[in-house]
Chain A
Amino acid sequence: MSRGKMLVAMTLVVFVALIAVNQFGHGGNGDPGGTKTGSYSTPTKTSVNDTLGASTTPRNVPVSQTGINQLANETGHLRVSINFTWLLITGFLVLFMQVGFAFLVTGLTRAKNAGHMMMMNIAAFAVALLVYYVVGFAFQFGGVSPIANLGNVSPLNGIFGHGTAGVIGLHGFFLQSGNSYDVGVLAFFLFQVVFMETAAYIIIGAIAERVSFAGFLVAEVALAAVIYPIYGMWVWGGGWLAQLGNSIGWGHGAVDFAGSGVVHATGGWIALALAMILGPRIGKYRKDGSVRAFPGHNLGYAVIGTLILLFGWMGFNPGSTFGSTDLRISIVAVNTLLSACAGAVTALAWTNAQWGKPDISMTCNGMLAGLVAITAPCAFVAPWAAVFIGVVAGFVVCYSVRFFDSKAKIDDPCGAISVHGMCGVWGLLAVGLFADGTYPISGWNGVAGPVKGLFYGDVGQLGAQMIDIVVGFLWAWGMAWIIFSLAKRFVKVRVSPEVELEGTDAGEFGQVCYPDFVQVTETDARLQDDDLAIPYLTLEEQAQVSTPARDGHAVGAVPHDTG
């Protein structure tokens, strides 16, 4: 059988399996038609600030009550509709961030790899989305408690773990199991899958220009199936980190509003592990250890990408209320903007002071640093604190990029580790410091009272945040390290030196992003032979690298093996 026919056959088998899974979903309490969701008879009383919906049952009511019940039904349905609209539209905004990130990372890398960068972006989205649909979503939210803003009917109530020590969700595989074929669940899925995609594309920035496409896909599958969802479950899915308030009485447990930790730090730490295993790009470090810059081929792309990300973040953070009936959304949005701009201005000023001229790409990184850092605290802090958080994030990203580049010698072409890892940690910490006790009225993670940081009298909250930071790092970095180290034995995770020098566009895909442009850059043309030694590879691998064929290949004619 040819490989093409084999693929068709496997596809048919998968479809049969999907239909089989569908059979488990019938006769349950899901609401695929969307008519029951939000009616007054479904309990919508929430732990936050919701008074709508009592325990009245629709049966045996007096005639005069019928009209009132109908009105309550309409109102409840409308309320949920408004929240659905908000959640979906902010989800679409987050989806658009994929475009911003594609521009950003492609602009910050060399023209000869531009097609590879773009291909990784689209493949990350497609592959990770399907993997998350199959298992990731269920692992993360299979046991999340019903969400009031989405109508409170949730079949996602399967949780593995004891009491306050939930470790993994169990409902919602294929969006079918446990009756999860439901309007509320699918609205929630759309919003959550684009968050996962954010972590999925973060890693591209740190592994760019030398990771093989096959190695990248392995990392994406691991991220979408295991690493992201399980840590996400611990913080957002009702897991043990979220329950630290209930179990050991530390604040409200780990509080991470829109994912400085769950999304960004996770992505950043996975990126760190991958970048360490892959090693730096050929020529990044000269023999004397000094750093060579590989200027990105289109800083305009980087700026466009950053501004698209800023726009998308207007969905990322305010959308994390899951509904616009929570009027805190305006504060969330403005805090996000304040922190982003404070981060950008800080990086702009720092690079100007340090190097004599403001650096365009670092200003972009500064804006993203502010955005990442405010993502966890955006709902809990006052505007002045948002500005402060952004300023600190701007400094963090500048010093961190310099540290990873010249001290740690971990090659991160787009600054993903610094922007998402380091600033994600700062964001989690900032919740524990600056949360001012104005939000929510009560009940975050099932603990009474509003979220307060150290400066507002709750030292336990800071403790919970610190546990979250350490656990998040160990989990994401450690799992990525283990999985990618294992994968390295079976898959060629890094392209051959020939392909890397020729450009991954031609070597991996046989097509180049800019066929009509001159491909050779001055930096590439002047690599010395002794630049080619690559740390982190085994001696055997280094020997293989030390005698590359560097000339005489036509574009697209390089023999290669992507594993």
Chain B
Amino acid sequence: MRAIVAIIKPHKLDDVTEAVRDAGVQGMTITEVRGHGRQRGHTEIYRGAEYEVEFLPKLRLDIVVDDGDADKVTDAIVAAGRTGKIGDGKIWIGPLDTVVRIRTNERGSEAI
């Protein structure tokens, strides 16, 4: 099993969720987060004084998939979440020991 974490632009949420569902994903978790990449943040002006907004608002998707589905789902997120401009976000993927469905106590792939 694999854990896919995707940081995306907030306004891309609908496109991305639709794409990953089409790719066969059943469930996912999203979180409102703030962060920056290579470009860092930017400055804003409030009443004439500048202030730095270093961490920009993003959404984080947590998705758990079977090993065989990881590439398909990742491609779907990239295709749907991409605008081509700075700040589109990032995806990272890692191995996962196990998954448990709390209601039934199922373990492993059954629980996805």
Contacts and interface: CB of A to CB of B under 8 A. Distances in A.
A15 interface: no
A295 interface: yes
Interface stretch (B9-17, B50-58, B97-105): B50-58
A522 B53 CA distance: 7
Contacts, number: 49
B48 A295 contact: no
Interface residues of A, number: 22
B86 interface: no
B13 to A, nearest CB: 20
B45 A355 contact: yes
A293 interface: yes
B34 to A, nearest CB: 8
A113 interface: no
Interface in A164-185: none
Contacts of A294: 46, 51
Interface stretch (A193-201, A400-408, A427-435, A532-540): A400-408
Nearest to B32: A518
Given A522-B54, A522-B55, A526-B54, A415 B48 contact: no
A526 B52 contact: yes
B53 A293 contact: no
B46 A295 contact: yes
Contact of B46 (A293, A356, A406, A522): A293
Interface string A279-316: 00000000000011111100000000000000000000
Interface residues of B, number: 13
A406 B46 CA distance: 13
A291 B45 contact: no
A362 B50 CA distance: 14
Contacts of B46: 293-296, 359, 361
B55 A402 contact: no
B85 interface: no
Nearest to A361: B47
Contacts of B54: 522, 526
A355 B53 contact: no
Contact of A415 (B45, B47, B49): B47
A406 B47 contact: no
A354 interface: yes
Contacts of A293: 44-47, 49-51
B41 to A, nearest CB: 9
Contacts of B47: 293, 359, 361-362, 401, 405, 415
Contact of B51 (A292, A357, A362, A415): A292
Contacts of A247: none
Nearest to A413: B47
A405 B45 CA distance: 14
Interface of B: 34, 44-55
Interface of A: 291-296, 351, 354-357, 359, 361-362, 401-402, 405-406, 415, 522-523, 526
22 contacts: A291-B49, A292-B49, A295-B46, A351-B48, A355-B45, A355-B48, A356-B45, A357-B45, A359-B47, A359-B48, A362-B47, A401-B47, A401-B48, A402-B48, A405-B47, A415-B47, A522-B53, A522-B54, A522-B55, A523-B51, A526-B52, A526-B54
